[in-house]
Amino acid sequence: MIELGKIQPLVVQREKEFGVYLGEKKDDKNSVLLPKKQVPEGTKVGDSLEVFVYKDSQDRLIATTNRPKLQVGETAVLTVKDVAKIGAFLDMGLEKDLLLPFKEQNHKVRQGENCLIALYVDKSQRLAATMNVYSYMSAESPYKKDDKVQGTIYEINENLGAFVAVDNRYYGLIPKKELYGDFHLGDVIEARVVKVRDDGKLDLSPRQKAYMQMDEDAELVLKVIDEFDGVLPFNDKARPETIMREFKLSKNAFKRAVGKLLKENKVRITEKTIERI
């Protein structure tokens, strides 16, 4: 069977002035056109060609020897070429752009934006894109605890945390307790594998281990104190919400950073402030 949205080997059945017809077998009744400009030089009846099958602007099956950026069931980051009334059109590496319907967007995309999407066949038997990629992720990643990984945030849940497509294909989650910082859908982040769950999914942290992160946090605290003209209007007993608002840090991380600065004699703590020395 000729598969829509897949790269597959097909046999040249017959030649025409405008191209060649391909099928699973030489005498198969089902066939798809490979336009003349796509036919490799010297191709003859009976040859096997590896092609990608999609639909043209008139909704007819057509083959191409060009390689798309993804196949049905796969995920990839594609660029938005245009936004129209029915959705956004993405560059998938072919002459025809890929439709990302509005109902399949998890936020309103803009021209030039890079989007993590999955390719699927819709109810009308057309290729389409979706930003709801969770079900397309794999739990069979090669990573282990403490490995550094890169991924794209594709969902943020207030109760659970941020869902990350590691390498744009593996399940990853930054749990809510690790979600310190300013994160948005579509952000490409670097993270550390905190845990590999029994089901293969990855728990992540955008932060290094505490003893390694402390230097960076201490520099951040100094920078913010300087923005307050050298006197922070609260000390290390401040509410976690206040610390999060000003530093995007947990209270524990903040206290560790302040402790380091105290030891280095760079700040002093009063009853109501932290001051730069």
Report which secondary-structure segment, H or E, holds 165: strand 161-166
Query: Which CATH number applies to 7-64: 3.40.50.720, 3.40.30.10, 3.30.9.10, 2.40.50.140?
Result: 2.40.50.140
Residue 204, helix vs strand vs coil: strand
Q: Residue 221 has what pLDDT?
A: 86
Q: Is 116 exposed, middle or buried (0-12, 13-18, 19+ CB in 10 A)?
A: buried
User: How far from 258 is each of 105, 147, 212, 214, 261, CA to CA, in Å?
Assistant: 42, 28, 15, 9, 5
Q: Which residue has the higher pLDDT, 221 or 197?
A: 197
Q: Count CB neighbours of 224 within 10 A.
A: 14
User: How far from 157 is each of 153, 174, 179, CA to CA, in Å?
Assistant: 11, 10, 11
Stretch among 33-42, 138-147, 235-244 having the lowest mean pLDDT = 235-244
Residue 263 banded pLDDT, cuts 50, 70, 90: confident
Residue 140 has pLDDT above 80, yes or no: yes
Report which secondary-structure segment, H or E, holds 171: strand 170-175
Where does 138-205 sit in CATH, by number?
2.40.50.140
Longest dimension (CA), the chain: 88
Q: Alpha-carbon distance 255 to 272, whole Å?
A: 15
Q: Residue 254 has what pLDDT?
A: 85
What are residue 50's DSSP bridge partners? 9
Residue 240 has pLDDT above 60, yes or no: yes
The fourth-level CATH superfamily of domain 75-134 is: Nucleic acid-binding proteins (2.40.50.140)
Residue 209 banded pLDDT, cuts 50, 70, 90: low
Q: Which amino acid is at 254?
A: F
Q: Which residue has the higher pLDDT, 268 or 210?
A: 268
Q: Span 179-187, mean pLDDT?
A: 83
Q: Residue 25 has what pLDDT?
A: 82
Hunting for tokens 């009334």 — which residue is that? 85
Q: Which residue has the higher pLDDT, 217 or 59?
A: 59
Residue 138 has pLDDT above 80, yes or no: yes
Q: Span 7-16, mean pLDDT?
A: 95
Residues of the chain with CATH 1.10.10.10: 210-276
Q: Which residue has the higher pLDDT, 140 or 260?
A: 140
Hunting for tokens 């979600």 — which residue is that? 179
Average pLDDT of the chain? 91
User: How far from 145 is each of 77, 87, 160, 165, 170, CA to CA, in Å?
Assistant: 26, 40, 20, 17, 15
In this structure, CATH architecture of domain 210-276? Orthogonal Bundle (1.10)
Residue 55 banded pLDDT, cuts 50, 70, 90: very high
Residue 212 banded pLDDT, cuts 50, 70, 90: low
Q: Residue 195 has what pLDDT?
A: 93
**Tens digits of residue pLDDT in 97-125:** 999 999 999 999 999 999 999 999 999 99
Q: Alpha-carbon distance 242 to 257, whole Å?
A: 16
Q: Residue 206 has what pLDDT?
A: 86
Residues of the chain with CATH 2.40.50.140: 7-64, 75-134, 138-205
Q: Which residue has the higher pLDDT, 32 or 217?
A: 32
Q: Count CB neighbours of 220 within 10 A.
A: 17
Three-state SS sequence of 132-144:
CCHHHCECCCCCC
Residues 201, 171: contact at Cβ < 8 Å?
yes
Q: Span 86-101, mean pLDDT?
A: 95
Q: Alpha-carbon distance 53 to 127, whole Å?
A: 10
Q: Which amino acid is at 107?
A: H
Percent of the chain residues past pLDDT 90, beyond the cut: 64
Residues 79, 114: contact at Cβ < 8 Å?
yes
What are residue 155's DSSP bridge partners? 163
Residue 210 banded pLDDT, cuts 50, 70, 90: low
Q: What is the pTM of this model?
A: 0.74
Residue 19, helix vs strand vs coil: strand
